Amino acid sequence: MNTSLIHEAKTILADLRNTKLRMDNQLSSLDSFAAWRLKRNSAKKSKHCYYDAILPGSKKSKYLGNELNEAVLNVKRYRYAQKAVEIIEADIEVLERLISNYISPDYNNINSRLPATYRTSLTADNSDEAFSTVLPPDAVKWIQYLKKEKEKYPPYKPEQLKYEALDGTRMRSLGEVVIANFLLMAGIPFVYEVPMKINGELVLPDFRILSLIDLKTVIIIEHQGMIFSEEYPYKYIRSLRLYLQSDLVINQNLFFTFTDEKGRFDIRQLTSIIKQFVKPSIDTEMACYLQDIPVHDRMTAGTSDLDFDSYGTA
């Protein structure tokens, strides 16, 4: 099944739950009309419909008036809300069953359901080889070159590298892992945290990415995972000032991605950059699948995102 349909199903499910809440409130406000039964009054000949009502505890009907009578309207409103809740509850059950039973056909889900004997791993030490089949030879060479350059420097605060991407790369935040997994699944060459010098100071760009358009252009993506925390804006401004002293140009070969105040990362930020500068044919359905996973549930609070841009920052 197309993953975008699952995304749409979740959106519809949220709308249905909100609608049901409104209908429940309407039923509650019109509860006094719950037992009223309308009956058309055929004695009156007019372009309007006239109604009698049989009220609770009475066998006699009471004349109400035409279809514009407030009591008539309230009885109809109650019956509409009652039928709406009945249909909405059935739809919610269908969608909940669909979403809970759906298994996305991505690598991890399929691989994890194989018997152990038949599983493969993309987290082995030869991760370059694992992905070399989907990358051009020049891109593989570029990755290998940058990794050798990275090995020339001691790891910066390795104890903060707590999270693992699909290729085994250890990272400092789960927001970065989401970006890395997207790039890996899309077959986009990148290397994580390769030191670079700006005015004699070593900094660690989150992602260096090689454009598949010309296999020459390199862009940098810095993920600001805690921008709404108290200290993080100062770190971001310092990082930005430092980058502005280099040859990098914002929104040309230097990009920043952000989470919102609730810690959620809208992956459309990333797909927009990749489509324009790296790989125009990027699979948007894959992006939709990753967006379905609530990033804020997988991100951890702490200081790991606050102090790794620069070797000179403690």
Is residue 154 predicted with pLDDT exceeding 60? yes
Tens-place pLDDT, residues 11-24? 888 889 999 999 99
What pLDDT shows up at residue 314?
A: 29
What pLDDT shows up at residue 17?
A: 93
Is residue 72 predicted with pLDDT exceeding 90? yes
Is residue 30 predicted with pLDDT exceeding 60? yes
Comparing C-alpha atoms, which of 47, 77, 48, 79 is closest to residue 65?
Answer: 48
Name residues whose C-beta falls within 8 Å of residue 267's C-beta, 6 or more positions apart in sequence: 178, 182, 287, 290, 291
Strongest mean pLDDT among 21-30, 97-106, 231-240, 287-296: 21-30
Strongest mean pLDDT among 34-38, 88-92, 114-118: 88-92
Structure tokens at 69: 């009578």
Is residue 206 predicted with pLDDT exceeding 60? yes
% residues pLDDT > 70 (the chain):
76
Q: Are 258 and 138 in contact (CB under 8 A)?
A: no
What pLDDT shows up at residue 22?
A: 93
In the chain, where the domains are located: 3-102, 120-298
Tens-place pLDDT, residues 134-144? 678 899 899 99
What pLDDT shows up at residue 299?
A: 39
Whole-model pTM: value is: 0.53
Is residue 156 predicted with pLDDT exceeding 90? no
What pLDDT shows up at residue 114?
A: 84
> Confidence band (pLDDT; 50, 70, 90) for 216?
very high
Mean per-residue pLDDT for 90-116? 83
pLDDT mean across residues, the chain: 80
Q: Are 274 and 282 in contact (CB under 8 A)?
A: yes
What pLDDT shows up at residue 134?
A: 65
